[in-house]
Amino acid sequence: MIFWNAELARRLACSKREKSHLGSIIKELLEIHDTVRTEGIKSLTDSASIKEKPILSYGLRLIEEGVSGETLEEILAIYLIASPWSGFDFLLQCLHTEALLSLAAGDSKDMYLRKLVPYCGVESAADVLGALEL
């Protein structure tokens, strides 16, 4: 079951054009999955491109601190809700958080992709999945 509330929906709202960028962002996130799978999480924490992505950067450090599962999800949800992000920026951070939780859970690449694609919206999820299918 997916919970829903109007405040959250308002905060996540963004244009179709903005959402169209998500496909390429998911592609980048798949590369991160590959790096974690081959070199481990520690190889990412010092990477400059990760440091530009706040929730990913801090989230990876939390995983290295031994935080996992429900507790990790709860902490990241608090950061997101208490943050000033809204619109596409907020959606992007939610997508990064979903990726992080999937990495922390040790999900396969296929499962990881299937958890990220729904953020593209019902209309384009199937197309993005088709384009990125492993």
Partner 1 sequence: MIINSLCLAQDRLPSPSEPSGQNFPALKPRTIQACLELAKKFVTTIQRYRSEGKEALLAATREEKKKNLKYAYSLVASGMPQENVASAFARAGFLEAESSKDEFDSAMLLTGVQLALKNVHPIAIMRAMTAYLGFAVYEEVGSWLAQRYSSPIRQEEELLLPGELADAVYAFTDDPGSLGQAIRLAGLPLLAAASAGCPDETLSIIKSVGFNSLGSALLDDEIQNARSRLSSDELSDAQHAFLTLLGSLKELVPKGIVEEEAWKRSMDGGLVSEVSELILNLDARILKTVISAMDAKLVAALIQAMEPIAHDRLFSSVTSNRGKKILDALEASAPLSSNELTRQAQIFAQRVLAEVAPRSKILGKALPIPAQVRQLLSAILSRE
Interacting residue ranges for partner 1, rule: CB under 8 A: 1-5, 7-8, 10-11, 36-43, 45, 54, 58, 61-69, 71, 73-84, 86, 94, 97-98, 101, 103-106, 115
Residue with smaller CB distance to partner 1, 107 or 132: 107
- The helix/strand count (H/E) of the chain reads as 10, 0
Q: Find the shortest distance in angstroms from Cβ 41 to partner 1.
A: 6
Cα–Cα distances (Å) from 5 to 9, 73, 113, in that order, read 6, 18, 25
Whole-angstrom distance, CA of residue 92 vs CA of residue 55: 10
In the bound complex, what is the minimum distance in angstroms from residue 130's beta carbon to partner 1? 22
| 3-state secondary structure at position 102 | helix
Comparing CB distances to partner 1, the nearer of 7 and 123 is 7
Q: Which is nearer to partner 1, 36 or 128 (CB)?
A: 36
3-state secondary structure at position 93: helix
Tell me how far, at minimum, the Cβ of 40 lies from partner 1, in Å: 4
Least gap, CB of 26 to partner 1 (angstroms): 15
Residue 51 CA to residue 44 CA, distance in Å, equals: 9
